Amino acid sequence: MSPALMKMWVSLAAMGFMFISIITIYLSRYKLKGGVLRFVSALFAYALMILSGIIIFLVVVSGPTGE
Protein backbone atom coordinates (compact mmCIF):
# COMPACT_ATOMS: atom_id res chain seq x y z
CA MET A 1 0.00 0.00 0.00
CA SER A 2 1.41 3.37 -0.97
CA PRO A 3 2.09 6.05 1.67
CA ALA A 4 -0.52 8.33 0.12
CA LEU A 5 -3.20 5.66 0.37
CA MET A 6 -2.18 4.90 3.95
CA LYS A 7 -2.52 8.59 4.88
CA MET A 8 -5.96 8.63 3.26
CA TRP A 9 -7.18 5.69 5.37
CA VAL A 10 -5.74 7.18 8.56
CA SER A 11 -7.47 10.50 7.95
CA LEU A 12 -10.71 8.70 7.09
CA ALA A 13 -10.50 6.86 10.42
CA ALA A 14 -9.99 10.17 12.20
CA MET A 15 -13.09 11.58 10.50
CA GLY A 16 -14.99 8.49 11.62
CA PHE A 17 -13.83 9.14 15.19
CA MET A 18 -15.17 12.70 14.89
CA PHE A 19 -18.54 11.41 13.67
CA ILE A 20 -18.77 8.89 16.52
CA SER A 21 -17.86 11.57 19.05
CA ILE A 22 -20.55 13.93 17.73
CA ILE A 23 -23.20 11.22 18.09
CA THR A 24 -21.95 10.28 21.56
CA ILE A 25 -21.92 13.90 22.75
CA TYR A 26 -25.48 14.30 21.48
CA LEU A 27 -26.57 11.17 23.33
CA SER A 28 -24.87 12.20 26.56
CA ARG A 29 -26.40 15.68 26.53
CA TYR A 30 -29.95 15.03 25.40
CA LYS A 31 -30.84 11.35 25.72
CA LEU A 32 -29.05 9.87 28.73
CA LYS A 33 -30.41 10.63 32.19
CA GLY A 34 -28.03 8.69 34.44
CA GLY A 35 -25.16 10.66 35.93
CA VAL A 36 -22.38 8.08 35.66
CA LEU A 37 -23.35 6.81 32.20
CA ARG A 38 -23.68 10.37 30.98
CA PHE A 39 -20.22 11.25 32.28
CA VAL A 40 -18.58 8.14 30.82
CA SER A 41 -20.11 8.69 27.37
CA ALA A 42 -19.09 12.35 27.37
CA LEU A 43 -15.56 11.45 28.47
CA PHE A 44 -15.34 8.85 25.69
CA ALA A 45 -16.62 11.37 23.14
CA TYR A 46 -14.17 14.09 24.10
CA ALA A 47 -11.28 11.61 24.15
CA LEU A 48 -12.18 10.50 20.61
CA MET A 49 -12.42 14.13 19.49
CA ILE A 50 -8.98 14.95 20.91
CA LEU A 51 -7.47 11.80 19.38
CA SER A 52 -8.94 12.59 15.96
CA GLY A 53 -7.66 16.15 16.15
CA ILE A 54 -4.15 14.92 16.90
CA ILE A 55 -4.31 12.40 14.05
CA ILE A 56 -5.51 14.99 11.53
CA PHE A 57 -2.82 17.42 12.73
CA LEU A 58 -0.10 14.80 12.23
CA VAL A 59 -1.40 13.91 8.76
CA VAL A 60 -1.42 17.55 7.69
CA VAL A 61 1.97 18.39 9.21
CA SER A 62 3.64 15.35 7.62
CA GLY A 63 3.19 17.03 4.25
CA PRO A 64 2.69 15.60 0.79
CA THR A 65 3.84 12.08 0.01
CA GLY A 66 5.37 12.85 -3.36
CA GLU A 67 3.34 10.32 -5.32
Reported as a single tens digit per residue, the pLDDT across 35-50 is 899 999 999 999 999 9
Domain of 52 in residue numbering reads as 24-61
- Domain contains 9: no
In this prediction, residue 63 has a pLDDT band, given cuts at 50, 70 and 90, of confident
Of residues 63 and 51, which shows the higher confidence score? 51
In this prediction, residue 52 has a pLDDT band, given cuts at 50, 70 and 90, of very high
- Domain contains 12: no
pLDDT at 67 over 70: no
Over range 27-42, report the average pLDDT: 91
Question: For the chain, what is the largest distance between any 2 Cα atoms, rounded to a whole number of angstroms?
Answer: 51
Please give the backbone phi and psi of residue 66, each rounded to the nearest 5 degrees, phi first: 85, 15
- Domain contains 46: yes
- Domain contains 19: no
Which residues, 6 or more positions from 17, have their beta carbon under 8 angstroms from its beta carbon?
48, 49, 51, 52, 55
Measured between alpha carbons, how far is 19 from 8 in angstroms, rounded to an integer? 17
